[in-house]
């Protein structure tokens, strides 16, 4: 397989005191991740939050191979990492370690440390997430039907939603990567409200399934120093451990959440009361 040279951007960690001083463009430069999906390319963002990598691969009829990424300091990206892949496009194929998986829209694939180069083919739009790993767990394709579903919220508070857990302790083992996505019921637009923080791990959101002219207002920052970013379809945002992460959309949407850090317990959060929010 011929290596596809990925386009890689860096996001350095920003502390909460510095974040308070940033204007809109400064916030977007530090936390916003646009243009992850480009036909015929692999695009990655290497963050200094728990060394999480987020990116996209769009084969567009020509196989793409992800192997060496200079920023990881290893010969192949998965030499000391694990990876989660979510297909947000049409049917496609992912191959690694001598195996291939057919992925439909919404399917999630887990690849372990040591799986070697990863090949993407077909009509898929593959969202890539990767974090450092300390051991190899079995590779596994998890379909939406196999995901654990948690229903939360209500229509009365505009946040009735189903949380689909894929790479998650209740579904399968991983080292530190936790991945799933949240789908809203008709008329609901608020995500992750009431808000919370989790200081033991960072998070990345990717918003998708949005109309071209739809937007999500993503809220971030310390609970008493909130800021917002305006997000379009297939745009991602990094959430530091000290930050809230919630939002409201102008229409229906789905968002993929991915976490890395000390604790994989999804319930390990510090809730923020409405009285604390500013």
Binding-site residue ranges: 196, 198, 203, 245
Q: Which candidate, 197, 212, 195, 202, places its Cα nearest to that of 131?
A: 202
Q: Are 131 and 52 a contacting pair, CB within 8 Å?
A: yes
HSE toward the beta carbon, residue 72, CA cutoff 13 A: 25
From the annotation, which residues make up the binding site for Zn(2+)? 196, 198, 203, 245
Q: Nearest 5°: phi and psi at 133?
A: -135, 155
Burial (CB count <10 Å: 0-12, 13-18, 19+), residue 62: exposed
Q: Which CA distances in Å does 174 have to 35, 119, 178, 206, 210?
A: 28, 21, 8, 20, 30
Phi first, then psi: give them for residue 45, nearest 5 degrees. Answer: -120, 120
Q: Sign (positive/negative) of CA torsion 66, 70, 72, 73?
A: positive
Phi, psi of 41 (to 5 degrees): -135, 160
């Amino acid at each position: 397989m011929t290596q596809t040279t990925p386009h890689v951007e860096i996001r350095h960690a920003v502390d909460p005191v510095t974040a308070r001083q940033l204007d809109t463009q400064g916030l977007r430069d530090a936390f916003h991740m646009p243009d992850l999906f480009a036909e015929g390319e692999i695009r990655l963002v290497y963050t200094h939050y728990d060394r999480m990598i987020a990116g996209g691969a769009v084969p567009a009829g020509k196989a793409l191979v992800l192997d060496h990424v200079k920023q990881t300091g290893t010969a192949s990206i998965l030499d000391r990492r694990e990876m989660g892949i979510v297909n947000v496009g049409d049917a496609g194929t992912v191959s690694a370690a001598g195996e291939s998986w057919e992925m439909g829209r919404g399917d999630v694939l887990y690849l372990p440390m040591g799986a070697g180069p990863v090949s993407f083919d077909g009509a898929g739009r593959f969202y890539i997430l990767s974090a450092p790993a300390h051991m190899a767990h079995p590779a596994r394709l998890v379909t939406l039907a196999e995901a654990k579903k948690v229903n939360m919220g209500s229509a009365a508070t505009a946040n009735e939603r189903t949380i689909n857990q894929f790479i998650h302790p209740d579904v399968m083992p991983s080292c530190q990567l936790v991945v799933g996505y949240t789908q809203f019921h008709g008329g609901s637009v608020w995500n992750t409200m009431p808000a919370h923080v989790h200081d033991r791990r960072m998070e990345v959101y990717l918003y998708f399934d949005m109309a071209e002219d739809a937007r999500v207002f993503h809220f971030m920052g310390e609970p008493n120093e909130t800021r917002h970013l305006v997000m379009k379809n297939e745009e991602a945002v990094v959430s530091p451990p000290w930050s809230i992460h919630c939002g409201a959309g102008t229409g229906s949407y789905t968002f993929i959440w991915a976490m890395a850090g000390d604790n994989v317990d999804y319930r390990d959060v510090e809730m923020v009361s409405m009285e604390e929010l500013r």
